Structure 1
Amino acid sequence: MTRDWKISEPIKEVDQVHCQWTDIILDDKFGITKEDWNTVIEKTVEHVHSWGEQNIARRVSCMIRLLLPQLDVLWQGKVGPNDELSFRWLPCKSLQGATVADHALTASAIAYCIGYDINPRPDIETLDKLRLSALTATWKDDGLEDVYDALWGEDPPIEPKPDGTELEQIVFMAKAVASERTKINDASEFNTHSLNENKQIGLVLGGATKIKGYFLESAKLPEIRGASALLDRINLEDVPALFGREIQDKQRYERIRKGFCKRTGHTLSAPECIIYAAGGNTLAFAPASVVHQIADEIERIYTHETLVANSVAVGDTFDLLELQYGLNPTQFWIGDFQKACEKPETAKIMHTYYGSTDKEDFLERKCFGELTSSLAGAQLKRREGNTTPDRKTHRDLPTHVEIGPYQVRCESCERRPAVINEAKVLCEACTRKYVTGRATKKQLKRGELDHYTNSINKWLPANKGENGEYLLTDWISLYNEYVELFSDVSQNYEQDPDGPNDLNDIAKSSDRENYIAFIYADGNNMGAYLENIETPAQYRQFSERVFVTMQTAAFKALAKLEPVWIKDDNDRYVFPFEIISIGGDDLLLIVPGSKVFEVVHAIGENFDSEFNSYNRLTNTDKLRLSQRYKSSKWVDAQEMQPVFSMSLGFVIAEAHTPVAFLEHLAGSLLKSAKTRAKMLIKDEVGYRGGTVDFLVLKSISMITSNLSDFRKKFYKTDTKNSLTMRPFTSHELSGFIETIKAFKEGKFPQSQLYQLRESLKLGRQTSTLDYLYFRSRLDKKDGEQLQDQIEHNWHSASDKNSNPGPWYAMLQESKTDKTGYETLLFDLIEAYDFILDPEKQNEEDNSDESND
């Protein structure tokens, strides 16, 4: 089966496919028709011609912008309004599964880094020509001749030649590193390999650590929002600016680059060196001579801007062969691995590191992913205080300020002495957070922040634009841009909404008044994939797709929440949610308590659908074991399974509950959900989708230790039976929501559910008899409804006919396990008040339609 490259649906007329390839993530075959191919090429050529007569520097800059666009272009994917923007997503024939952008940007970055270290260093014009030559080195072979000719015109590029001039050899090496690697069986073959040259390139990995501790050391929303915006600004703008990535704040861009040049004597001008910058971390190529100075500068920027956020950056240099074949391939290859596996004293080490003693697993591990794993290990060592080899500087640690006996403690973090002691009592670090958080507000009054910035030596989160607003982007602004871009999620807002002032603004939107929900989500199955990514180009594609998918999944789900009017001294029109962070593969959100189930389910479904693969659906009979809600109907409808899925944990609590405590609980619930996901992905079941766990916190004193102890105490009986069925799969969560809606729609007495719950503590047999007796005494309508929702729709994972309800046999983790039983009633009652009545939801939906 071949899927269409744009819309991912199966292509019915396969004979029309012009080019076919296997997606590196989904492992499905994709194809593009000749018509689509020609349309994109023609539009791209027109676009290049529209630049007019340009020098090499302008041409490479324009092409980099086309291949490395802003977020609003990435959100649109391959079906945007401008076909020339689809050029970056065309398949690259020189590297299976990669796109034109993946390969071209990687080759250009490698050529720049090698060329930068030539002695004497070439001028900027020569480096730009080197970049553009490497960027287009495979385009004639890849069927992109028309774009190639339009781009170069009469100017001759630097041709890739293994025996040519030094610059021609660099283009050849960059092209080879970015392309498909040659299969090597014997280490002696490396002696004649084209990349076995005395050239090195640097890799830098760095960013903020212990991010949530920085976000959540304050319980107040402006400071949380400000901390998030400040870290995102550093990660997405300041660090890329070091490599020449232009940002909206031109003054800050120049200040960052001039400061780095003054301290080191270096100015880098190749934004394509950034492989990824998301989730607080950055991975980038760098010239070997500058790698440690870049790492030092990343740490310096975080400490200088935040004062207290932890950051760690490390760098190392690698041979060109290592970029394709992993660490030290000339010193340790297949023969050495096999000999080590034969020795008892080293066989266990080989098995632990490579996953087995099989040759294929060794080759799979020896790739670019091994280099990034090595850097991640070095980053962890440096974070723990160890010295970094070949690094002259010590880690730039955040400021620790003692509180003197006569100093006032900051009211926000309660850790540091205040520098402002008036309406707000804030330390300098929290003042920066507060100023940044307020600077993102649309209703900011002129000069409102001057007093605060003057108190901290006129530090500013960003410069101001022509309209007087700070040139600062936060998640609410990005969400607004997304909503305006897509008609299917746009809403007829009464005016331009703003973010909430505090958690009470969010809680007022909940039908169960004063309740909010803290959501913590994280991707599944990604760690092992990252370790085995073969090339930098594939790493670039993977990180971009995950980052964009995480954002669009969250934004689409949040579009279900309409802005609300907050009636106070100044009537405000606000979004009833807060996006704390959307990282590489995780996100933190706060939403109204009564809306959380719908939002969580939508986020999980949106994310999983982007990574659905026909190739991942195998044995459907085994897959039935994973679902306890209408499994046969669900399995029969399945055509795909996701390669990567999302697990989510969320806690519902009153708005005055400390945010740090909610994050801790949500993190524990996320771990619980991920544990179930790992159990279900085993061969015996084969479910690869998302999982969800939740908790309704009626008071802080409910949990005095950790989540596991709490559940053992309140949800476990003396036997292996459990009084909860959490965590749920994504499909089960949708069934869980439908079950509660059905009870509400049918006006089933909630008090009778409470009565059934009480008998569960008497044990499975006694409570089953009580349940059957209770059901028989209900009137016909309520009895049938109870039977449908508890017995027919829900059943045990192993045998749906073995239990009459309300107990179901658990899925056994091993054949030797004693069968345990679980029940849904506690879960239903706990969540009952936080799922909308169908009638009320219909009224809201009708209201939306009338507004549209």
Structure 2
Amino acid sequence: MGTPQALLAADTDRTQDYVFESARLPEIRGASRQLDDLDRRAANLVRQRGGQVILSGGGRLLAIVPLDEAEALALEVEKEYVSETRVATTTVDWRPLPPGALEQGYPPDPGRPFGTLMNWIEGWLRRKKESRETVPFWESLPHTERCRSCQVRPVSPATLQKYPDWPLCDVCYAKRTYEGRFAWFHRFQGFLKRNPDLERRYYAGESPFPDSPADAGKRFARHTPQDLTEIGEACGSREGYVGFIYLDGDDMGEVFARLPTWQACAGLSQAVQKAAEEAVLRALAIHLHPAWVFPSPARASVDEMPSEEERDELGRMRIHPFEIITVGGDDVMLIVPADRAIPIAAEIARGFQAGVAKRFAAEGLSHPLTMSGGVVLAADHNPVRVLRDLAKELAVEAKRARREAGAGEGYLDFLVLRSADILDRRVARLRGTYPYTLPVPGRKPLSLLGRPYPASTLQAIWEELHHLRRARFPASQMHLLAEALLRGRREATLFYLYQKARDKGGGFAHLDRILEVARNPDDEPGPLPWSIPPKRMGYSYRTALWDVAELYTFVS
């Protein structure tokens, strides 16, 4: 008989709260990298104890371990997280595997896929997570000064020597100073070195490696962003706006549940992680360039202002205009300038699907593995946590639309956040009200939104909008067309046709083509700018013109 084995599963507990409890990018960056590194350390502990890692990343761990090591290993993994972060925790559970269970699944039945065992152990794990008795606790007395970053824990006197003007608690100090906090920027630079064509494209022909030390400061210094202000300043079309991107693999649980063996699960898990990382780095290299920005005032409080040698004659410095928060498993979260967010998100969705296609086919699975998500375009003064929450809501809407369409590619939804007064309502509920849905007496309402879109469709809309911009189509006229929609279908149609008849620059030919590209394939063509949805829908007409007008603002 072989060595008795156990199936071990782990999942982090509300660690997004740990990452986003501070609004400052350095703390978010350090916390995210802490958790990514802890995932790797947990997987290494399993291997050191003679186990086999099946899934690892994004706060999750699934492994086959020797039965006599399972309990000690579970305790050690849980201890690692608390020891490193002092706040973030993970829940670990394990169950003995009966002989032959790896081949028979759960309940035991010859030929049952290994994924049924995954569902079984995850059920036990959820039960343990819900029955957790204690959590880390920090006492904050009324007379203590609160941490400037998280506003939750008391300031630690030990941090005052390094940051006298920005007092921090021990936890936020550990995040800000975490040794591996710049790992994603280092990986990105390594990716560029391995792909010279993309390196030249990203640096726009400028060598990232100066020939003389004198050039190294002003022209070639590559800082990381201190806050959203610096990323927003890199937005060429509308300065001060950023794009928060959240993407997630579609139906991943169902996919893994169909895989026959643990080896197939492990292979696909590795392929998913690699494809997601490659897709993100490639998309950034294709659509971004280093940006000249003025240093954020926040740098002064933590003594991270660039030197005179690192600034140009206007006092600006060079930064990488992005922040990768996480690429864990099939989850992707990053922040970029708003005018690059849509093409970057579409490129990531496309690259991910292409990256896992070969491995997916090798496992005998015909339906493509896709990635859907949401993009929030917002002013840089909005809290990062708010942008994350909205992006996750948009991802839910995108996934729902993909399932209803039965599409073979990922979907993307987007939101232009113009005012904080919408934050008291959920996105789906908001879109059922004015101005996104117009009531019509005695008939079904009108819908002014076409989103979510397939990723390829949204990319095509974005490219056509660039043609429209080159045709010098006035942004003011675009907004007038969108505002006319609020007066009803007939008035909006007449106004659209009137403006089209007066057009001398050929812009409406591009706009007609954009509306045709954006039209849902289930809709019948209607009088422009409208289409006629199927009768099962809850509205009589819909148009993508409102979507187009909102996106046009960000096309540079």
TM-score normalised over the length of structure 1? 0.57
Partner of 1:717, secondary structure, is strand
Give the structure 2 partner of residue 726 of structure 1.
451
How far is the alpha carbon of 1:220 from its aligned partner?
0.4
Label 1:424 to 1:373 Cα distance change in 2 as closer, same or farther (>3 A).
same
Per the alignment, residue 521 of structure 2 pairs with 797
Aligned runs of 1:174-323 on 2, under 5 Å? 200-236=4-40, 238-244=41-47, 268=49, 270=50, 273-323=52-102
Following TM superposition, by how much is the alpha carbon of 1:403 offset from its aligned partner in structure 2, in angstroms?
Answer: 1.3
C-alpha distance after superposition, 1:411-430 (max 9, x if no partner): 11111112135322222211
- Could you say which residue in structure 2 is the equivalent of 1:493? 208
Q: Which amino acid aligns with 1:745?
A: R
Which amino acid letter does the alignment assign opposite residue 403 of structure 1? S
Q: How many residues align?
A: 507
Q: CA deviation at 1:367?
A: 2.6
Distance 1:641 1:829 in 2: 38
TM-superposed deviation, 1:398:
3.9
Corresponding residue of 2:339: 594
Looking at structure 2, the residues matched to 531 and 593 of structure 1 have their Cα atoms a distance apart, in angstroms, of 37
CA contact (8 A) 1:222 1:434 kept: yes
Q: Which residue of 1 aligns with 2:551?
A: 831
Query: Offset of 1:759 from its aligned partner?
Result: 2.1
Which moved further from structure 2: 735-744 or 818-827?
Answer: 818-827
Q: 1:218: Cα distance to partner?
A: 0.4
Distance 2:117 2:508 in 1: 62
- 1:795: how far off? 4.0
Q: C-alpha distance in 2, partners of 1:818/1:660?
A: 33
Please give the per-residue CA displacement for 1:201-241, whole angstroms capped at 9, x wherever unaligned.
Answer: 112111422221111000001110110111111111x2133
Secondary structure of the corresponding residue to residue 589 of structure 1: strand
Choose from 166, 169, 181 the match for 1:424.
166
Q: Which segment is superposed worse, 822-831 or 641-650?
A: 641-650
Provide the rounded CA distance (Å) in 1 between the counterparts of 2:366 and 2:259: 21
State whether residues 234 and 293 of structure 2, in contact with CA within 8 Å, keep that contact through their aligned partners in structure 1.
Answer: no
Amino acid at match of 1:222: P
In the alignment, the residues of structure 2 paired with residue 698 and residue 818 of structure 1 have an alpha-carbon distance, to the nearest angstrom, of: 27
The equivalent of 1:55 in structure 2 is none
For residue 676 of structure 1, what is the aligned residue in structure 2?
401
Offset of 1:796 from its aligned partner? 4.9
The 2-side partners of 1:784 and 1:283 are apart by 54
> Deviation at 1:559?
0.8
Contact 1:806-1:825 within 8 A present in 2 as well: yes
Query: Is 1:529 matched with 2:255?
Result: yes
Using a 3 Å threshold, how does the CA distance of structure 1 residues 299 and 788 change in structure 2: closer, same or farther? Answer: closer
Match runs of 1:64-213 below 5 Å? 170=2, 200-213=4-17
SS at match of 2:500: helix
**2:131 aligned residue (373, 385, 392):** 385
Instruction: Structure 2: state its 5+ residue gaps.
Output: 201-206, 210-219, 296-304, 311-316
1:715 aligns with 2:436: yes
Residue 348 of structure 2, aligned match among 582, 603, 617: 603
Pair 417,784 (structure 1): closer, same or farther in 2 beyond 3 Å: closer
User: Kindly tell me: are residues 228 and 781 of structure 1, through their superposed partners in 2, closer, same or farther at Cα, counting changes over 3 Å?
Assistant: closer
Give the Å deviation of 1:555.
Answer: 0.6
Larger Rg: 1
| Contact residue 613 and residue 643 of structure 1 kept, 8 A | no
Does residue 530 of structure 2 align to residue 807 of structure 1?
yes
Alignment equivalent of 2:269, drawn from 543, 552, 577? 543
Do the aligned residues in 1 keep the contact of 2:457 with 2:518 (CA within 8 Å)?
A: no
Alpha-carbon shift at residue 794 of structure 1 (Å) = 4.7
Distance in structure 2 (CA, Å) of the matches to 1:486 and 1:477: 14
User: How far apart, CA to CA, are the structure 2 residues paired with 1:541 and 1:712?
Assistant: 43
Q: Indicate whether 1:508 and 2:312 are aligned.
A: no
Matched, 1:409 2:146: yes
1:589-611 CA-to-partner distances (Å, cap 9, x unmatched) read 01011111221121111112224
For 2:513 and 2:121, how far apart are their aligned partners in 1?
Answer: 55
In 2 relative to 1, CA 317–409 (structure 1 residues): closer, same or farther, beyond 3 Å?
same
Equivalent-residue separation in structure 1 for 2:95 and 2:360 (angstroms): 37
Aligned match of 2:291:
564
Match of 2:321 in 1: 576
SS at structure 2 position matched to 1:204: strand
Name the TM-score, length of structure 2 as normaliser. Answer: 0.85
User: What one-letter code is carried by the residue in structure 2 that aligns with 1:400?
Assistant: F
| Equivalence map 1:436-455=2 (5 Å) | 436=178, 439-440=179-180
Give 5+ residue unaligned stretches, structure 1: 1-168, 171-198, 246-267, 334-362, 387-394, 442-472, 617-639, 682-686, 837-852
Instruction: Give the C-alpha shift of residue 244 in structure 1.
Output: 4.9
Identity %: 29
- Between the aligned partners of 1:435 and 1:781, the Cα distance in structure 2 is 55
